[in-house]
Structure 1
Amino acid sequence: MISLKKVGFLINPIAGMGGAVGLKGTDGLAEEARRRGAKPVATHRAETALKKLLGLDALFFTASGKMGESALRRCGLEYQVVCQTSEESSAEDTKKTCRSFLEKGADLVVFCGGDGTARNVSGVIRSQVPIIGIPAGVKMHSGVFTISPQAAGELIRGYLEGDLNVRETEIVDVDEEKYRAGTLDTKIYGIAATPYKPALVQERKQIYSASSEEEFKEEIAIFASEFMRDGSAYILGAGTTTAKIAEVLRVEKTLLGVDVVKDGRVICTDASEEDLLGIIDEVGEIKIIVSPIGAQGFVLGRGSQQISPKVLRKVGPENLIIVATPHKLKETPRLLVETGDFDLDETISGRRQVICGYRIAQLKDVEASSRVGMDQSGSF
């Protein structure tokens, strides 16, 4: 007789709210994010994963209200509230809930949030029980996250049905104050066990720093400085490759933010989604330049949520320009988009040119992360 599987499940309801409004994180800034008009995203992403678990023979342990109970109820899954939490969820609520999961003998712990949530969860769970992260944060460098909420649902089901093995991976977080100031300072906080299926789990972000990398970035930047003379405004996403473009143009660039350049000058620094939408209405012709996250391959949907589905639809997917050095492309097995808008991700997907040098481009497949691992029928 197969015993009922027990799953600890929690949501960080404020995770990801800081992205579209340009805060580069939400830790300690939930009220500021709301003041800027941010909308919650984590619960919807959690429910997208949970809906793939209908019919699974499992009992979910969870926290009260927005931290899990409400989502499980709406999705029609069997659950038990094991921890009462505050209305405004906190890191301590996450840790307290995770301690309850261990006390109840959970076979797996699933959380929805970003690297801060992963750090809080793994700090309690350690390697006692495997954990899976449903991606919802502004930044996600840890190896416990799946490439999409849909992939999380598939990974949870596969593990509980005994089809998947577990691997150890690193829990990584950034210093958010330094991050907002333009410095990427990452630190490994621990090791966690996580179910693993290569197509469904993201890799840790990689930073490449060879001398040849800088030469190719320079080539890309010189080429970009030439085609950017066409009178269009250009939205520059985050990263060192787009920063090199700004350097060649001799303009200031927010390394970890989104900026807009037109006719050789910056017209908006560290832009939010609202800023970008306003600029699009003002300038008319506008294009977007982005670079994939090293090793992970995300072109859109991670790190630059200011370039939102609304922004992308107004600009037009045909005006999306991808840049990356040859080495980054070689070390990045796939390019992914995960904007939260399934139809838009499908539109952006397909064979696309990636500028990788001076007047040099490679054709690469760009995939909607929600479809990675699916067969032709649309099933995983």
Structure 2
Amino acid sequence: MIPTDLARPTVFKLGVIVNPFAGIGGALALKGSDGAEIREKALAMGAEKKANEKMAKALSILEALSGQFTVVTAAGDMGASVCESLGIPFEVIYSPDSEQTEGEDSERAAKAMVEANVDLLLFAGGDGTARNICSVVGTQVPVLGVPAGCKIHSGVYCVSPSAAGQVVSQMIAGELVSEMDAEVRDIDENAFREGKVIAKHYGEMRVPAELTYVQAVKMGGKEDEALVLDDIAAYISEIMDEEPETYFVMGSGSTVGSVMEFLELDNTLLGVDIVKNREVVANDVTAPELLALTQGKPTKVILTVIGGQGHILGRGNQQLSPAFIRQIGKQNMLIVATKQKLQALNGKPLRLDSSDATLDTELAGAFTVITGYKDKVLCSAQ
């Protein structure tokens, strides 16, 4: 008989959004394409919409991975058209009210993607599109931009459409891809048309970096595990200092234990402890105690990966009940592990075994794993 967790394959869910009017003012020296008036002027001057063509270059890279991913997208030229042209199966989850789409359409489509729990949101546009996406998505899900606009000042874009396709293909194939926080910037187009470059910071989004885990190891050499554990602990400590009112639930395992040692706090190696503002609230709590102590309070849980198996839930931390995990939400699950431990999984996904199959399905997909001081990678879990 096939084990339950192996019989439940997770298919990568890719969100696709295209701003069909991105970049139409560039070739006509209009210094951008923001605003209905500029778009109408560009179209009247014979501008061609190129954003879907650029998204096609990115998506065409994924042809060899057919069956390993699904696509959710917006109707018409906001994504469905390019998927249809490439023969990629897709589901429309947002439809704009008119053919003349606006920034609000990108925002609504992005909101639908977040609610659909996409593993990655791939979008084509320029800095204006990145601003729209950022205003809705923030750091909730990883994103990646296909450059199609006149202005590309933001750090969320790949160097080319083909490069974007390569990064997405690595993620779908289950390779460990580094993650970083990238800045979203945009310039004032009216000032730009007067010869002034006034750029402004609008936020940050999570993006997959271009290096796979294996390439990063070749560049950085072999890890010193003790030093890496100190780096992880220092980063978690910094997060705790930034959130003094948050309850941090410390899951079992030696990696989490190293964080408690760094904080100089009593630790239950094979149990679950609760920490707030660098002080122990409770040691070795039961599942009912944990649920009661954190009810209605800001809470995060620190988990690690079981070496050789890849489990993050269901092995030695059954105190983290399905009710508790639902109470705090996936966004408050912080996973810590060394890259050596992840490498030892030989490409296998992280494992979820919460004893609630529905919850496991809801949690499945991309997770950020903290692998050092502000060093993270994206891993798939199922």
Please, which runs of 5 or more residues in structure 1 have no aligned partner? Answer: 200-380
Is 1:179 the counterpart of 2:192 in the alignment? yes
Which protein has the larger Cα radius of gyration, Structure 1 or Structure 2? Answer: 2
What residue number does 1:122 align with?
Answer: 134
Aligned partners of 1:159 and 1:165 also within 8 Å: no
Is 1:108 the counterpart of 2:120 in the alignment? yes
**CA drift at 1:159:** 2.1
Q: 2:41 aligns with which of 32, 50, 56?
A: 32
- Equivalences for residues 144-163 of structure 1 within 5 A: 144-163=156-175
What residue number does 1:66 align with?
Answer: 77
Over 6 Å off, 4+ runs: none
Tell me the alpha carbon deviations over residues 55-96 of structure 1, each in whole angstroms, 9 at most, x when there is no partner.
321111100000000100111112100001121111111111
What residue number does 2:301 align with?
Answer: none
Partner of 1:54, secondary structure, is helix
What residue number does 2:307 align with?
Answer: none
Aligned partners of 2:178 and 2:211 also within 8 Å: no
- Equivalences for residues 255-270 of structure 1 within 5 A: none
Partner of 1:18, secondary structure, is coil
What residue number does 1:41 align with?
Answer: 50
Tell me the alpha carbon deviations over residues 82-114 of structure 1, each in whole angstroms, 9 at most, x when there is no partner.
001121111111111111111111111000000
What residue number does 2:251 align with?
Answer: none
Q: 2:27 aligns with which of 20, 23, 26?
A: 20
Aligned CA-pair RMSD: 1.3
Tell me the alpha carbon deviations over residues 237-261 of structure 1, each in whole angstroms, 9 at most, x when there is no partner.
xxxxxxxxxxxxxxxxxxxxxxxxx
Paired residue total: 199
**CA drift at 1:41:** 1.0
CA distance in 2 between counterparts of 1:160 and 1:168 reads: 20
Q: 2:154 aligns with which of 139, 142, 162?
A: 142
Is 1:90 the counterpart of 2:102 in the alignment? yes
Is 1:6 the counterpart of 2:6 in the alignment? no
Partner of 2:88, secondary structure, is coil
CA distance in 2 between counterparts of 1:41 and 1:195 reads: 24
Amino acid at match of 1:135: P
Aligned partners of 1:15 and 1:136 also within 8 Å: yes
Tell me the alpha carbon deviations over residues 262-312 of structure 1, each in whole angstroms, 9 at most, x when there is no partner.
xxxxxxxxxxxxxxxxxxxxxxxxxxxxxxxxxxxxxxxxxxxxxxxxxxx
What residue number does 1:197 align with?
Answer: 210
**CA drift at 1:198:** 5.5
CA distance in 1 between counterparts of 2:168 and 2:62 reads: 8
CA distance in 2 between counterparts of 1:45 and 1:173 reads: 21
**CA drift at 1:186:** 0.3
Q: 2:59 aligns with which of 31, 45, 50?
A: 50
Partner of 2:92, secondary structure, is strand
CA distance in 2 between counterparts of 1:6 and 1:67 reads: 17
- Equivalences for residues 340-355 of structure 1 within 5 A: none
- Equivalences for residues 260-339 of structure 1 within 5 A: none
Please, which runs of 5 or more residues in structure 2 have no aligned partner? Answer: 1-5, 213-382
Sequence identity percentage: 38
